[in-house]
Amino acid sequence: MSRNVVVAVGIIGFLASAGIAFAQTTNSGTATPSHPMILQVRSGGGVLMRGTISAVSSGSLTVQSWGGPWTVNVSSGTKVLPSGAALTDFKTGDFVGVLGTIDASANWTINATLVRDWTARQALNQEIRSNVQSVRQTMSSVPRVVQGKLSNLDTTTEAFTLTNAAGTAYTVTLNSDAKILGRNWATVTLSQATNGDRVRVFGTVSSTTIAASVFRDISVK
pLDDT digits (tens, 9 = 90+) for 71-101: 999 999 999 988 777 888 899 999 999 999 9
CB 42 within 8 A of CB 1: no
Domain 9-121 has CATH 3.40.50.261: no
**Higher pLDDT pick, 67 / 186:** 67
Model pLDDT, residue 66? 93
* Res 31 pLDDT > 90: no
* Res 137 pLDDT > 70: yes
Break the chain into its structural domains and give their ranges.
9-121, 142-217
Q: What is the pLDDT of residues 1-30, one digit of tens each?
A: 433 333 333 443 333 333 323 334 433 333
Lowest-pLDDT range, 59-68, 159-168, 175-184? 175-184
Q: Which residues contact 163 (CB under 8 A, 6 or more apart)?
A: 148, 149, 151, 169, 170
* Res 39 pLDDT > 60: yes
Dihedral sign for Cα 126, 86, 38, 99, please: positive
Model pLDDT, residue 22? 35
- Is 142-217 in the same CATH topology as 9-121? yes
Model pLDDT, residue 27? 39
Tell me the pLDDT of the chain averaged across its residues: 82
Q: Where would I find the beta strands (DSSP E) of the chain? A: 38-41, 46-57, 60-65, 68-73, 79-81, 95-102, 109-117, 145-154, 159-163, 169-181, 198-206, 209-217
CB 41 within 8 A of CB 6: yes
Model pLDDT, residue 55? 96
**Inter-CA distances, 108 with 9, 24, 42, 115, 142, Å:** 14, 19, 15, 16, 56
Q: Strand 68-73 to strand 109-117: parallel, antiparallel, or no bridges (unpaired)?
A: parallel
The pTM for the full model equals 0.52
Q: Count of residues for the chain? A: 221
Q: Domain 142-217 is classified in which CATH homologous superfamily?
A: Copper binding periplasmic protein CusF (2.40.50.320)
Inter-residue long-range contacts of 168-174, CB under 8 Å, 24+ positions, other chains counted: 168/208, 169/208, 170/146, 170/205, 170/208, 170/209, 170/210, 171/208, 171/209, 171/210, 172/201, 172/203, 172/209, 172/210, 172/212, 172/215, 173/209, 173/210, 173/211, 173/212, 174/212, 174/215
CB 136 within 8 A of CB 164: no
Q: How far apart are CA 21 and CA 142, in angstroms?
A: 56
Q: How far apart are CA 164 and CA 50, in angstroms?
A: 47
